[in-house]
Structure 1
Amino acid sequence: MKAIVCKAWGLPDTLAVEELPDPVAAPGHVVLDVQAAGVNFPDVLIIQGKYQYKPELPFTPGNEVAGVVRAVGDGVTAFKPGDKVIAFSAHGAFAQQLAVPVQALMPMPPGMDFDTAAAITLTYGTSHHAVVDRAALKAGETMLVLGAAGGVGLAAIEIGKALGARVIAAASTDEKLAVCKEHGADELINYGTQDLREAIKALTGGKGPDVVYDPVGGDYAEAAFRSIAWRGRYLVVGFANGEIPKLPLNLALLKGASLVGVFWGEYAKREPKANLAGMMQLLGWMAEGKIRPHISARYALAETPQALNDMAARKVTGKVVIQPQR
């Protein structure tokens, strides 16, 4: 099979397509023909050795997968060759085949295409854990989403609307904000041209948002935290900006506010039943048309470095996927 291989920590252009042995289905494992693999910002960090998870070199990056079961190992009874499935793996997704433990699989809902199936696990799982579980966002509350046009940002918008909240989307260009509007955002802030604090104040009547969803970090974090409502919840989702902000903790005291960490990967590992329940709720919302992943680009396996470069340069809206069989 062909696979993307990372042999040394570095930028996307150091990755290469190589021919590797086909994986074998060990006991309790399943081998998939990968039809689509989601690309996420952590992939850009992992290949540079800058993420909290560091695979042993060499390795194949990527963890969101949709595909067809090719073979099953001893003891696997829930799936059979030919089944269409969704999987989440620690790494290895940017390849034509992938072996995963059976616990990492769930059936693809009827009628769902592979690209959509590969776009829901990490982004929507992260945002569901953040918004529903960690923030406990309620109908009628207001949520501000920073970096709102990215994969987790759009997912947060849709989940917020499914819960009956008012959602303010903040992004760096009008083009990105137009995508946010299409996915349900009630109000828009272009923090490339507007003062973030003043815009939040105007849109909330000075009250501030009940929840701030922040996958970006950097310069806008303190302005957003200073604007948060009494008893607000500030969701620390990630640092796509590349800078980890240092927030004055007296702000939490003055607002009676909470800084809430969001680490979906660890949550899924420690609380698998709760995570599965969240995924089932997401699939239900998808069937009802309340959430719909926005896939802005598709890349062949050999184009994986370009996909990661586009992600790093913030050229991506919503999700992009790799199609390894191309």
Structure 2
Amino acid sequence: MRAYYMKTQESHARLTDLAVPTPGPGEIRVAIRACGLNFADLLMQKGTYQDTPRAPFTLGMEISGTVDAVGAGVTTLVPGDRIAVYSGQGGLADYGVFDAARAIKLPETMPFHHAAAFQIAYGTSHMALAYRARMQPGETLLVTGAAGGVGLSAVEIGKLMGATVIAQARGADKLEVARAAGADHLIDASEDLRARVLELGGADVVYDAIGGETFKAAFRACNPEARLLPIGFAGGEVPQIPANHLLVKNLTVIGFYIGGYLKFRPEAVTQSLRTLIDWYLEGRLTPHVSNILPLERVEEGMTLLRERRSTGKVVITM
């Protein structure tokens, strides 16, 4: 089988022929049909992601496909079942072996490319906004990097939860994508973010995927008792938060990493995904996939992420 494989942490990931794996107890083998790309895949290649596996490993964090074989003790799934798995690794391959407990059955009406684009972006945004920030209807949500995978899902979910959504992105095309997802107000990345948000009444919740100066400007545009979620650092700089400034407006900075919940509260992730799939079936969520590429073009997909030329998700198909 083919796999986008990192042999050592110092080597570059490349397509490699590997043996088809055998599932062990509690595991399933999946014939992978699609894998969503994430900014974290780029960080893993550099060894800078907070949850980088030890090499050798196959990249690819979220997959969809069909169960091909089951290991001992697996009774909830059978070969042929359509499933999605938040795998953390191993997704950019023709086959993968995963913990059966992480698999979620897919409705027949959900295409594989939507399922592969769904779990991390929507799961992160839903749990961050609903479970961690406890955002309420009528509050104002500021989303930075609003045309990216997690940012766009935050716009969509924020609107569903009854928030007024301010979306920041770079360029008219990306802002139009955010507007179509439900954003009430649009701010170009070239504008003064702090000034524009304050003109709109300030932010009650900040969902920041950029970091650096963008986070600092959003921080200064917060209303009293606002909650800030530093979701990612696509701009390359991890912001340093002045604790004394938190006191003045009684602000709260909330850490959130969905992968951590898979380790200590996996049922919270599962319940969130069930809610999201229900919303999808009701037509309330529409995953935006800007690029669908075959596995042979995975490097092209990574470049789209690296150069920020995609909107929503990039999906690799097998």
| Structure 2 residue 3 is matched with structure 1 residue 3 | yes
1:147-172 deviation per Cα after TM superposition (whole angstroms, max 9, x unaligned): 00001001111111111111000011
Paired residue secondary structure (1:26): coil
Counterparts of 1:144-163 in structure 2 under 5 Å?
144-163=142-161
1:224-279 deviation per Cα after TM superposition (whole angstroms, max 9, x unaligned): 10110110001111111111112322221111110111111002321112221111
Counterparts of 1:1-326 in structure 2 under 5 Å?
1-9=1-9, 14-192=12-190, 194-204=191-201, 208-324=202-318
Distance (whole Å) between structure 1 residues aligned to residue 251 and residue 53 of structure 2: 36
Distance (whole Å) between structure 1 residues aligned to residue 149 and residue 81 of structure 2: 27
Gaps of 5+ in 1: none
Distance (whole Å) between structure 2 residues aligned to residue 62 and residue 162 of structure 1: 29
Paired residue secondary structure (2:222): coil
Structure 2 counterpart of 1:200, one-letter code: V
Structure 1 counterpart of 2:4, one-letter code: I
Structure 1 length-normalised TM: 0.95
Distance (whole Å) between structure 2 residues aligned to residue 168 and residue 157 of structure 1: 8
Asked whether the 8 Å contact 2:125–2:150 carries over to 1, the reply is yes
Offset, 1:10: 5.8
Structure 1 counterpart of 2:222, one-letter code: I
Distance (whole Å) between structure 2 residues aligned to residue 262 and residue 215 of structure 1: 12
Distance (whole Å) between structure 2 residues aligned to residue 97 and residue 292 of structure 1: 27
Distance (whole Å) between structure 1 residues aligned to residue 15 and residue 269 of structure 2: 33
Distance (whole Å) between structure 2 residues aligned to residue 181 and residue 277 of structure 1: 28
Paired residue secondary structure (2:293): strand
How much identity, in percent, do the aligned residues show?
Answer: 41
Distance (whole Å) between structure 1 residues aligned to residue 29 and residue 113 of structure 2: 19
Offset, 1:188: 0.4
Distance (whole Å) between structure 1 residues aligned to residue 261 and residue 103 of structure 2: 17
Asked whether the 8 Å contact 1:168–1:186 carries over to 2, the reply is yes
Paired residue secondary structure (2:291): strand
Asked whether the 8 Å contact 2:9–2:54 carries over to 1, the reply is no
Distance (whole Å) between structure 2 residues aligned to residue 140 and residue 71 of structure 1: 48
Structure 2 counterpart of 1:92, one-letter code: G
Offset, 1:119: 0.8
Instruction: Give the number of aligned pairs.
Output: 318
Gaps of 5+ in 2: none
Distance (whole Å) between structure 1 residues aligned to residue 251 and residue 145 of structure 2: 21
Q: Stretches of 4+ moved more than 3 A in 1?
A: 8-11
1:119-147 deviation per Cα after TM superposition (whole angstroms, max 9, x unaligned): 11111111111110111111111100000
Which protein, 1 or 2, shows the higher relative CO under an 8 Å CA cutoff with sep ≥ 6?
1
Offset, 1:287: 1.5
Paired residue secondary structure (1:70): strand
Distance (whole Å) between structure 1 residues aligned to residue 98 and residue 209 of structure 2: 28
Paired residue secondary structure (1:230): strand
Structure 2 counterpart of 1:312, one-letter code: R
Structure 2 counterpart of 1:203, one-letter code: L
Structure 2 length-normalised TM: 0.97
Offset, 1:54: 2.4
Distance (whole Å) between structure 1 residues aligned to residue 88 and residue 180 of structure 2: 32
Paired residue secondary structure (1:179): helix
Asked whether the 8 Å contact 2:124–2:258 carries over to 1, the reply is yes
Distance (whole Å) between structure 2 residues aligned to residue 248 and residue 58 of structure 1: 39
Distance (whole Å) between structure 1 residues aligned to residue 8 and residue 174 of structure 2: 34
Structure 2 counterpart of 1:52, one-letter code: Q
Distance (whole Å) between structure 2 residues aligned to residue 45 and residue 242 of structure 1: 10
RMSD: 1.2
1:275-295 deviation per Cα after TM superposition (whole angstroms, max 9, x unaligned): 211111111111222211100
1:159-204 deviation per Cα after TM superposition (whole angstroms, max 9, x unaligned): 1111111100001111100000111111100022x11111111122
